[in-house]
């Protein structure tokens, strides 16, 4: 698919956006059919737009509770909780399962079984606590320095970047579990990978500013690549849980950059 083909069929692009929003959030009413084979790969260019929506939901929650006089630390935590509710906690659950599998399994089959079956043990719980704590703590620093506008930019930026770089993992990684949704997602075309990264970059620059946005996307890419590399060494590729862990690494990295910028 070339750029002309990508931009020509807007009804198909709208359908792609709905597929991404339906899969990654609980904001679509009505039927929620599972994506067909390869459908997520075709819709991967829209992943950062889904991140934009999730970030806006968190920003609205923060603005509302801050307006009601809720202290900044609690408001930051409620904003993170809102984004988790919007996505039904799938990224946090995947992070916990990934950490359990990669950290406890003695061989590839055992690691995959731990990820697939659960439930999460101490390592998984610790991973969720650290993820939520780091994100909320970073938002607290941003909110304390820049107020609601700063938190809104940080939330929008982190969710757009973390999802905008996921298509690259699908494109150049190898599925480790054939029956997993990540394997059935398909391999995005290079045009979709580039479009997703470009959209994420534009959103990051607008939300975080030029310097912070550029640093954030570089740091997030490095953090997400590190998680993907660790998974490749431990299980020979990625699963849906690994991709969720990769996404969480991106969110944390961007928010830590935003907090450091204060």
State the residue for tokens 């075309």. 189
Q: 10 Å Cβ neighbour count for 9?
A: 11
pLDDT of residue 6: 53
Burial class (CB in 10 A: 0-12, 13-18, 19+), 30: exposed
pLDDT of residue 69: 95
Tell me the longest C-alpha to C-alpha distance in the chain: 51
Distance CA 42, CA 99 (A): 29
Cα angle 246, 249, 53; round to 5:
85
CB 127 within 8 A of CB 97: no
Q: How many Cα atoms sit within 13 Å of 190 on the Cβ side?
A: 1
Distance CA 258, CA 233 (A): 30
Closest CA to 158 of 95, 212, 195, 227: 212
pLDDT of residue 150: 97
The count of structural domains within the chain is 1
pLDDT of residue 119: 63
pLDDT of residue 14: 84
pLDDT of residue 175: 92
Sequential pLDDT tens for the chain (262 residues):
555 555 556 667 888 999 999 999 998 776 666 777 789 999 999 999 999 999 999 999 999 999 999 999 999 999 999 999 999 999 999 999 999 999 887 889 899 988 887 666 889 999 999 999 999 999 999 999 999 999 999 999 999 999 999 999 999 999 998 878 888 899 999 999 999 999 999 999 999 999 999 999 999 999 999 999 999 999 999 999 999 999 999 999 999 999 999 7
Dig out the tokens for 245 from the structure.
Answer: 């862990």
Domain containing 71 equals 3-260
């Amino acid at each position: 698919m070339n750029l002309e083909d990508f931009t020509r069929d807007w009804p198909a692009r709208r359908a792609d956006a709905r597929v991404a929003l339906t899969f990654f959030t609980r904001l679509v009413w009505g039927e929620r059919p599972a994506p067909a084979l390869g459908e997520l790969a075709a819709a991967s260019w829209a992943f950062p737009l889904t991140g934009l929506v999730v970030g806006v939901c968190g920003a609205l929650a923060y603005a509302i509770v801050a307006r009601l006089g809720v202290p900044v630390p609690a408001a930051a935590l409620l904003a993170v909780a809102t984004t988790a509710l919007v996505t039904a906690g799938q990224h946090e659950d995947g992070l916990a399962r990934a950490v359990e599998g990669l950290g406890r399994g003695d061989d590839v089959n055992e690691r995959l079984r731990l990820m697939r079956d659960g439930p999460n043990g101490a390592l998984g719980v610790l991973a969720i606590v650290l993820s939520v704590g780091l994100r909320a703590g970073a938002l607290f620093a941003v909110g304390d320095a820049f107020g609601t506008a700063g938190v809104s930019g940080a939330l929008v930026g982190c969710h757009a970047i973390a999802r905008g770089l996921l298509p690259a993992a699908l494109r150049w990684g190898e599925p480790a579990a054939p029956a997993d949704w990540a394997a059935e997602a398909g391999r995005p075309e290079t045009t979709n990978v580039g479009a997703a990264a470009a959209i994420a970059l534009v959103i990051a620059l607008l939300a975080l500013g030029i310097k912070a946005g550029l640093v954030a996307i570089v740091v997030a890419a490095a953090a997400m690549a590190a998680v993907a590399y660790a998974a490749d060494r431990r299980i020979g590729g990625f699963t849906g849980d690994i991709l969720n862990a990769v996404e969480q690494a991106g969110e944390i990295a961007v928010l830590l950059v935003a907090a450091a910028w204060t």
